[in-house]
Amino acid sequence: MKRFNFKSAIVAGFVATVVMTIFMAFFDMNITKLLGMAMGKTGSMAYIIGGLIHLGVGLFYGLIFALIVQPILNKLPGFLSGSLYGIAIGVIALIFTPMFMGKLHKWGGQCHPMGTAKVYAQYGYQGCYPQDPEHPCYPQHPNGDQDQQQKQYPFDHDEDETEDDEESDNDQAPNQPNPPQYPEQDDYGSSPYYKQNAYSPPHEHQMNPCAPAKKASLPAWLWVLINHVVYGFVLGVFYRPHRTDEQ
């Protein structure tokens, strides 16, 4: 008979989280930086805060595995039960990552009052798929809601009409009347819409947290599952429940 082992669950969760993070970094996926920046942090603080969040989630999942999943799948080898658990939490990540990222943005004071979760749902931005080159809280999406974009970035029609039809950087794209206006980069210090971080336009993600582009061509959702299977595999291998003699 096997009993819950708290210490082993913590150790296994820690090791699995570290291995998963290293595995992701090897394929240019930087989950710690993403989580830290979602809280509005930059530089080394983004890694510190993001790392703590990532570790906390990893330890939490380790405890859930030890408390609930392992007793149910105790007939299976640890690596197999852990891998199945990894698939399950990978699916959970695919479903709930946008909401989780929305909460982080809200707690970090990064988002428009309309709510990041609503922005994700409306514009299709996913925390694990940050290929979108626009600010996730203030997106300028070609197929998005133009009325909402106008509320976020008011466009001064009167001022525009005073110009004598001269070309400008704000030329309207087809099917996108009155696009939202981003401030100039030099003005980011005084603008409430411009933040000097990787989410601000223009920007480039040095490391895509979930979908590596340089070393592999698999779809992002599959990488999410692979990353979590790696976590679950290591978790199952390292977790050791207490053993007692059956009465």
Model confidence pLDDT, tens digit, residues 1-19 = 678 999 999 999 999 999 9
* 190-243 confidence digits (pLDDT tens): 434 334 444 433 334 444 445 454 555 688 889 999 999 999 999 999 999 987
pLDDT band at 97 (very low <50, low <70, confident <90, very high): confident
Q: What is the mean pLDDT of residues 127-138?
A: 41
Task: Write down the mean pLDDT value for the chain.
Answer: 70
Torsion-angle region of 12 (φ positive above 0: left; ψ -120 to 50: alpha; else: beta): alpha
Instruction: Return the DSSP state at 242.
Output: E
pLDDT at 178: 56
Q: Residue 222, Cβ neighbours under 10 Å: how many? A: 12
pLDDT at 237: 96
Rounded-to-integer distance, Cα 149 and Cα 151, Å: 5
Query: Who contacts 126 (Cβ-Cβ below 8 Å, separation ≥6)?
Result: 97, 98, 120, 220
Rounded-to-integer distance, Cα 208 and Cα 223, Å: 11
Q: Residue 176, Cβ neighbours under 10 Å: how many? A: 15
Answer whether residue 116 shows pLDDT above 50.
Answer: no
Answer whether residue 49 shows pLDDT above 70.
Answer: yes
Rounded-to-integer distance, Cα 231 and Cα 247, Å: 35
pLDDT at 3: 86
Rounded-to-integer distance, Cα 210 and Cα 116, Å: 19
State the pairing for strand pair 242-243/2-3. antiparallel
Residue 3, SS3 per DSSP = strand
Answer whether residue 111 shows pLDDT above 80.
Answer: no
Q: Residue 106, Cβ neighbours under 10 Å: how many? A: 17
* 152-183 confidence digits (pLDDT tens): 555 455 555 555 555 455 555 455 555 555 44
